Amino acid sequence: MSKLLSAPSSLIKFIENPVISSNFRTTTWIIIGALLFPFLSTLLTTRLTFFLSFLAILTRLIPTILITTGILPNEQLLSTVQPGRTAAMFPANDGINTIKPASKGLALLILGVKITHPLGFFAPGAKQTGDHFTNLVADLNAHPTQHGWISGSVVQGIPDSSSVSGHLTLIGYFKSMDALHRFAHGEMHREAWNWWNANVKGMPHIGVYHEAYDVPAKSWEGIYLQTPKLGLGAGRVEMDDGIWRDMLVEAKGGVWKSSEGRMGRSEEWGVDEGIVQNY
């Protein structure tokens, strides 16, 4: 009986897996649900099938109502969202966060996989391609100093037609273009590239791409209002003393009020120089 009661929750967790949920359009999920009900009715009693369906709805509806009405705290909001206004800035080597926005350059990498197939991530070769993609991201996160890696976010797109699945994209930040090139010529990327070259002829429905931007100092900014740590703001940098410091700082007034100031181009930014609070 306990397995039956936990079935709706397990099914929801499976469906909410980003790879699963974004792989099919809403109409496809509705059709799957419509077929699932009579199928369960043949295995179980109709009454029990209704009960499990109702229980699945309640597992989503009750927490939503309780959090919305304030009876339960919004744990995601409390634990992840940075209150107020924050910005991304390279920390000083000495740990004293003097306000010097965009004081260093960086490299931006956009790396993605696009699948044009009705089965989406279940298409032939898609799993292997996805595995290489996730291995690359895992390698960057596991060895940030070696790769000159600052931070990155993996974003999943939404299917835009019945025959085109959503795509998987990494938006990543390196300390320099040289660091990005070292990673591109490293063992993990070379392994992925060799596999791709050996199998690409049998996978016309899978595309891979990248864009790279070499961004000089005083040519970038990152401002965040009431968001979790994400993008460049989620970055941590190892300093000369071996200590890791966050790039996210409090951004109230002063140079943070304008784009010019946040890029370190404002003539007044030296006047506003001071100590900022890290998050």
pLDDT of residue 205: 93
Mean pLDDT (the chain, rounded): 84
Tens of pLDDT, residue by residue over 35-51, are 888 887 888 888 888 88
For the chain, list the domains and their CATH numbers.
2-72 (no CATH), 106-215 (3.30.70.100)
pLDDT of residue 6: 54
What's the half-sphere exposure (Cβ side, CA atoms, 13 Å) at 6? 4
Tens of pLDDT, residue by residue over 155-185, are 887 656 555 566 789 999 999 999 999 999 9
Tens of pLDDT, residue by residue over 232-271, are 999 999 887 888 999 999 998 888 989 999 999 875 444 4
Q: How far apart are CA 80 and CA 60, in angstroms?
A: 21
pLDDT of residue 158: 65
Tens of pLDDT, residue by residue over 184-198, are 999 999 999 999 999
Beta strands in the chain (DSSP E): 85-88, 106-115, 149-156, 168-174, 206-215, 223-225, 236-238, 244-246, 248-250
Tens of pLDDT, residue by residue over 60-111, are 899 999 999 999 999 999 999 999 999 999 988 766 666 789 999 999 999 9
HEC sequence for 221-257: CCEEECCECCHHHHCEEECCCCCEEECEEECCCHHHH
pLDDT of residue 16: 67
Select the more confidently predicted residue: 8 or 101: 101
pLDDT of residue 196: 96
Query: b vs e for 147-172, b when ≥16 Cβ sit within 10 Å of the residue's Cβ?
Result: bbbbbbeeeeeebeeeebbbbbbbbb
pLDDT of residue 226: 95
Q: Is 17 exposed, middle or buried (0-12, 13-18, 19+ CB in 10 A)?
A: exposed
- Give 8's pLDDT tier (boundaries 50, 70, 90): low
Dihedral of the CA atoms 114, 117, 121, 127 (nearest 10)?
-90
